[in-house]
Copies of this chain bind each other. A is one copy, B any other.
Amino acid sequence: MESPKRVKPYARPTEKRRGLLLVYTGEGKGKSTAAFGLALRAHGRSLKVRIFQFIKHQTARFGEHRAFATLGIPVEGLGDGFTWKSRDLLASARLAYEGWGRAKEAILSGAYHLVVLDEAIYPLRYGWIPLEEFLEVLRVRPEHVHVVVTGRDAPEELLHLADTVTEMRKVKHAFDQGIPAQAGMEH
């Protein structure tokens, strides 16, 4: 009688290393911080990192901006800090599309190992960045370039293209229990 074959607990990866497309989506906390944590890790490994932030105001100086500035990686704000109350949506749209132009250039240049597109899903959802153009840039990017995209409600086509997708599911949130946002924790 033959002895049973040994079964490996995990299949050994067969594809080679290459730039990954990671998406952090969902309603829960931790999407942007996970992207920033990844940028920090990559920087710690001497990878070249570029961080774009599509929603926060260009002059915003939140905790992560200050910390990354210390590390010599500017967090580049591309939005106008629009909220749901924004009046001039056309200006917001133009700004987002211009910002996307800069991000696109950074991705396609191949000069960075990791490009973070924080909160890029909002302008995609609004149609301010054309989804097809966005996907095409990700498809044709240089092979070594990792890209991280964050934002709620990622389009199906983006999830399909991505290598790794995490949904940050909100189980509970302090705000819902009446605790206001706090500097250093929420922004």
Interface positions of A (Cβ within 8 A of B): 9, 11, 13-18, 20, 22, 24-26, 28-38, 40-47, 62-68, 70-71, 84, 113-114, 146, 159, 162-175, 177-180, 182-185, 187
Contacts and interface: CB of A to CB of B under 8 A. Distances in A.
Nearest to A66: B44
A30 B172 CA distance: 17
A19 to B, nearest CB: 9
What copy number does this chain have within its complex? 2
B169 A162 contact: no
Given A164-B29, A166-B169, A20 B182 contact: yes
Contacts of A62: 41, 44-45
A interface SS class: mixed
Nearest to A27: B166
A28 B67 CA distance: 26
Nearest to A17: B182
Nearest to A172: B165
18 contacts: A13-B178, A14-B178, A15-B179, A28-B168, A30-B31, A32-B37, A33-B36, A34-B168, A36-B36, A36-B37, A41-B62, A41-B187, A42-B63, A45-B63, A114-B184, A165-B170, A168-B168, A169-B169
